[in-house]
A and B are shown apart, each in its own frame.
Chain A
């Protein structure tokens, strides 16, 4: 809080009004609606709703396809987060080292950030297409006949690759700016103490990056959960069938396609609780980060 502040009776409310009105209409109202309707069963044709307590939750969680989706989302999130963090770090460490061409490398490695997930998904389904896809040709040489869209595993694999690819630039940018904010003195001392670059990296640079990494991990989990919708939608070509989808996709699928409003709402609420947990974790980490810097 600032030491010197204005004390005007109405002005602050006027300033806050646009934000608050938008939040009230487009956030609070739908959020309560989601929670409320998760306890009701709604008839899709007559709009009549019946209170059913927590039945929607037990129904949703108890179904085998929900468990399968949750299982896929877990592994998908795990792989996408760690792979994109790994590649981002790998490229950032090297980009931090080179002198010649650093600016060009940086630009090339980061601009994929600009690509929308569904656009990445579209390019993805073509690269993994059974007739025209070069990646399928490549794996065929290794003896793996990929059938994306038919085989559950192959589709999951392709989805993970595309979602990871799309996220690498994001992690790259954060790691690079993290590396470049390490003071010169620390780097020089490290260079004197540790001659071998790999040891230097693991004993000095990596621990300094650890707070950034934890924080990025949370953001990556959020990405894999929510922002990959476009990738998933394109890669299953809008027709999930037997293909793997994420939990967020299932909320959409059950709500808009299946017209199971209550079930979809219950799944939303479960996801909300998850985001809540993640956000709390994130804020605690930020406090820690500020503390150390």
Chain B
């Protein structure tokens, strides 16, 4: 194809500027002292105070109760991200297996119930969900944090699509060899689904890590704050203070975006596959 490449490079460099610019400024500014930022605005270049700022954010006990640190928040974020991803994969794989490979009464009823969950994001039923979780005494627990997020059945649909694309010959062969449904699942279906599981795991980890609204409502106990939830706390400080700790707020933002960003960059191919396939 004959086409001047220069135009494309200019467009892409503009894209790089647009997407990376804000992040670069956020990272560089976080290395300056708040007074400097307050006086001179956001900074490019290196302020040389990064180490102490990030150390502070990670280890200083903050919050009203004075017992939450950045490290603890990172740990909570990991629990939420991993718990959400693993829970979703396990629950939805089992359900999809039942729907695709078994013939039983009520199968289509269950399918439609699962389908219905796609119609209502957590955001629109947020208040009653909160009340239910409160009624079950699950406020400020990891269970209450993670389970309601798993209720939406995107994963089940994804695995259903995938299982349906697996050739029928496999199950026939397995049957001839005398494998029952449990053997078939463990020895054939799970190994076949490995790539898909990895892809969906990456997406779900990022989605779980980035949850905001639900953790904001759910966790009033500061020791359960995730990094993303902590962003809101940082902002409250920002509103009241004379010279806000811009640097620490930005450091927190950088910490909150780093792990999911790394996951996406390292497992880029998997990530794209997972994203494009799940949304279909």
Contact = CB atoms under 8 A, between A and B. Distances in A.
B101 A6 contact: yes
B147 A22 contact: yes
Given A33-B132, A177-B276, A237-B235, A126 B246 contact: yes
A191 B2 CA distance: 8
B63 interface: no
Interface in B114-132: 114, 116-121, 123-132
A98 B9 contact: yes
B82 interface: no
B26 A126 contact: yes
B156 interface: yes
Interface string A104-135: 01111111111111110011111100011110
Contact of A91 (B11, B20, B150, B260): B11
Contacts of A159: none
A122 B253 contact: yes
B120 A275 contact: yes
A interface, size bucket: 35 or more
Given A30-B131, A174-B279, A265-B128, 6 more contacts: A1-B103, A33-B125, A109-B12, A114-B257, A126-B250, A233-B212
Interface stretch (A53-61, A62-70, A72-80, A247-255): A247-255
Contacts of B94: 15-16, 18-19
Nearest to A5: B103
B175 A4 contact: yes
A268 B156 contact: no
Contacts of B182: 11
Residues of B contacting A: mostly: helix
Given A5-B102, A11-B102, A272-B119, A23 B8 contact: no
11 contacts: A30-B128, A98-B12, A106-B268, A108-B15, A112-B23, A119-B231, A123-B22, A126-B249, A195-B2, A248-B124, A251-B123
Given A2-B168, A27-B120, A105-B16, A123 B253 contact: yes
B103 A7 contact: yes
A15 B98 contact: yes
Contact of A115 (B2, B101, B257): B257
**Closest 10 A-B residue pairs measured CB to CB?**
A116-B210, A33-B128, A30-B128, A15-B98, A19-B95, A114-B260, A12-B102, A94-B8, A26-B148, A255-B127
Given A26-B151, A97-B8, A118-B232, A219 B279 contact: yes
B38 to A, nearest CB: 7
Contact of B213 (A13, A169, A252, A268): A252
A76 to B, nearest CB: 15
Nearest to B111: A16
Nearest to A219: B279
B19 A114 contact: no
A226 B123 contact: yes
Contact of A20 (B11, B113, B148): B113
Interface of B: 1-3, 5, 7-9, 11-12, 15-16, 18-20, 22-23, 25-26, 29, 37-38, 41-42, 90-92, 94-95, 97-104, 107, 110, 113-114, 116-121, 123-133, 136, 147-148, 150-153, 156, 164, 168, 171-172, 175, 180-182, 184, 206, 209-213, 216-217, 228, 231-232, 234-236, 238-239, 246, 249-250, 253, 256-257, 260-261, 263-265, 268, 272, 275-276, 279-280
Contact of B98 (A16, A119, A239): A16
A217 interface: no
B257 A116 contact: yes
Contacts of B280: 286
A97 B3 contact: yes
A101 B9 CA distance: 9
Contacts of A15: 94-95, 97-98, 102
A165 B128 contact: no
Contacts of A87: 15, 18
B228 A116 contact: yes
A69 B130 CA distance: 24
A264 to B, nearest CB: 6
